[in-house]
Amino acid sequence: MKTKNEYIDSLATELKEWSAKIDLLIANSENATAEIKLRYIQDLNVLRAKELAAIEKIKELEEAGGDAWETVKETADKIWDDLRVGVAGAASKFK
């Protein structure tokens, strides 16, 4: 089992990778037609919102002490799963 700091570090690393993928998807959407670009932007805005939730969850994890961090970790896992699926789905949709 990872320590609190190891867990936070791994989440931060994943978040940086996903953030870069979202940036790349946004850059690629610039070449799409107006109608498709609008759909891309809507989907990418949803991803950005999930990314912001993940950033907030990392802050919450850093501040959580003792046993409270285990509870926060459970919700972080759910947010990460949701973001992971969202980024993968967007990447496959925008190919």
The rounded percent of the chain whose pLDDT value lies above 90 is: 26
Report the alpha-carbon distance of residue 15 to residue 1 in Å, rounded.
Answer: 20
Give the chain's mean pLDDT. Answer: 86
The rounded percent of the chain whose pLDDT value lies above 70 is: 98
The Cα angle at residue 88 between residues 83 and 92, in degrees rounded to 5: 150
* pTM for the full predicted model: 0.83
Question: What integer is the mean pLDDT of 50-79?
Answer: 87
Report the alpha-carbon distance of residue 48 to residue 8 in Å, rounded.
Answer: 20
* 4-29 vs 34-63: helix crossing angle, rounded to 10: 170
Q: Per residue in 24-39, pLDDT tens?
A: 888 888 887 888 788 8
DSSP 32: S
Q: How confident is the model at residue 1 (pLDDT cuts 50, 70, 90)?
A: low
Extents of the domains making up the chain: 4-93
Please say whether the dihedral angle defined by the alpha carbons of residues 78, 81, 84 and 88, taken in this order, is positive or negative. negative
